[in-house]
Amino acid sequence: MQIQGIQKLQTDENRQASQEPDSPSLHIITKPVETEEISFGETAEPIREQRKSGWTVTAYYWCRVCKQKTPVTDAKSCDCGVTMCNVCWAEWDFTCPICESDMSK
Amino acid sequence: MSENKSRLQTLFEQGEFVVTGEIGPPKSANGEGIRKHAEHLKGYCDATNLTDNQTAIVRLSSIAAGMHVLKAGGEPIIQMTCRDRNRIAIQSDLLGAYSLGMKNMLCLTGDHQSFGNHPTAANVFDVDSIQLIRMVKRMKDEKVFACGEAIKKDEPRFFIGAVANPFADPFEVRVYRMEKKINAGAQFFQTQIIFDLERFERWMELVRERGLHERAYIMAGVMPVKSAKVAAYMQKNVSGMIVPDEMVTRLKNAEDQQAEAVEICVEQIKHIRKIKGVSGVHIMAVGWEEIVPSIAEKAGLLPRPQAAGIARVAG
Ligand SMILES: [Zn+2]
Ligand SMILES: [Zn+2]
């Protein structure tokens, strides 16, 4: 069943690939946009109106290892891109498993 | 605008086995590290990728990084993702990059922002990677913007690159995706990091069956894996990549893991070089860039060839 599925996919893809690429051509679309109003007070500090979905400021990272949503204060991101929660970093002795940077500070 | 080919394209056309490296720009406004890396790769790599906010983490921009590489006498390959810019910004950046002397670009979708350091940021994906490739090609060949308006003069003439992953599932479909990218205008490919050579060879068989190696240059991605620890981490936590147990064990049992890592990478390059249809290697030495010259030397990739009509030694 699975093999048949793949074969069908192959045939379809085969046909598509031998013709023009199947991604649609670019065209103008209308899309509803959620806006965020920003006004300035006397101190020139931006005053943000809260969106329905909440503040846009990042307050968490996703740990790449345990896949948990972790507050930024409990997570670290190495320059090479490895991002983990501190519990997972501890498993690697706070040394980056890719580039060996010291992540203890 | 007259044809003004990049060193990378010229070398491919000369039939050379091409070597490229990669620099991840820093999370700061200081370009010194990029210039140092570029200097370091000069004479060992023919061109250098500059990643575009890789892993969705804010970094110095790939085009600014490309300028640092040019200043250091190297040849940049500008990576451009679809995540952060709409078609207006992409085309504007393409004009800017080409005006600064950058001639190679690599089109990617880009890692999703939820994995980076701004997980709540909005993404764009106004165009996908195939549409991006077609847009760059049309700017070059048809001299038009994405909206159809003519570019009256000095159109950007990039050598267009794309990525291919022989290790993502379903395996058989990856080749068709590659063909779509070629149909859209991709001229060269860099693959995902290859550790499983057997699977890569099977994938290359499919590529050859469809004659794709004759329509685009294919570079195999390799990575020197510094230690058993790095290998174990990648095996467990990096998706879209196959790290064989055998490699982890070999590193674990080695007296000098770094020397063994170089040895493994050199063996892989020598093996890849013999596979019909592969035109070069892309060395991604993440966090270990200083090892690239030694790998290039041991793998018999030196001296790097000169590109006809281009005097400068690139990196
Ligand atoms: Zn974790
Ligand atoms: Zn790291």
Question: Is residue B121 less than 8 Å (CB to CB) from chain A?
Answer: yes
B175 is a domain residue? yes
B312 is a domain residue? no
pLDDT at A7 over 70: no
State the first-to-last Cα distance of chain B, in angstroms, to the nearest integer: 26
> Which residues are close to ligand 2, an ion, with C-beta < 5 A?
A 78, 80, 82, 96, 98-99, 101
Domain tally for chain B? Answer: 1
Q: Percent of chain A, pLDDT > 90?
A: 32
B46 is a domain residue? yes
pLDDT of residue B54: 92
Q: Percent of chain A, pLDDT > 70?
A: 45
Q: Is residue B70 classed as helix, strand or coil in its secondary structure?
A: helix
DSSP secondary structure code for residue B47 in this structure: E
pLDDT of residue B198: 94
What confidence tens digit (pLDDT) does each residue in B87-104 have?
999 999 999 999 999 999
Q: Ligand 1: distance of its center to the CA of A94 in Å?
A: 12
What confidence tens digit (pLDDT) does each residue in A38-86 have?
555 455 554 444 455 554 556 889 998 999 999 999 999 998 889 999 9
Mean pLDDT of chain B: 94
pLDDT of residue B4: 86
pLDDT at A103 over 70: yes
B18 is a domain residue? yes
pLDDT of residue B172: 80
Tell me the CATH number at B284.
Answer: 3.20.20.220
Do the chains contact at B237 and A64, CB–CB below 8 Å?
yes
Cα→Cα distances B23→A36, B8, B60, B82, B107, Å: 36, 16, 11, 20, 16
pLDDT of residue A57: 59
pLDDT of residue B238: 86
Residue A48 φ then ψ, to 5°: -100, 135
pLDDT at B153 over 90: yes
Least confident window among B113-122, B173-182, B245-254: B113-122
B287 is a domain residue? yes
pLDDT of residue B2: 46
Q: Give B119 or B304, the one with higher predicted confidence.
A: B304
A80 Cα to chain B: minimum distance (Å): 7
What is the distance of C-alpha B206 from the center of its chain?
Answer: 21
Question: Is residue B179 less than 8 Å (CB to CB) from chain A?
Answer: yes
Question: Is residue B114 less than 8 Å (CB to CB) from chain A?
Answer: yes
pLDDT of residue A47: 46
Mean pLDDT of A16-44: 56
Q: Percent of chain B, pLDDT > 70?
A: 97
Beta strands of chain B (E only): which ranges?
A: 18-23, 47-50, 76-81, 104-108, 159-164, 188-193, 217-222, 280-283
Q: Give B76 or B120, the one with higher predicted confidence.
A: B76
Q: Tell me the ligand closest to A100's alpha carbon.
A: 2
pLDDT of residue B97: 98
pTM across the whole model: 0.85
Do the chains contact at A62 and B115, CB–CB below 8 Å?
yes
B187 is a domain residue? yes
Mean pLDDT of B24-32: 96
One-letter amino acid for residue A38 of the chain: I
pLDDT at B213 over 90: yes
Q: Ligand 1: distance of its center to the CA of B308 in Å?
A: 51
Domain span holding position B14: 7-226+264-298
B249 is a domain residue? no
pLDDT of residue B311: 59
B244 is a domain residue? no
Least confident window among A7-21, B100-114, B217-231, B262-276: A7-21
pLDDT at B130 over 90: yes
Q: What token pair was written down for A17?
A: 């690939």
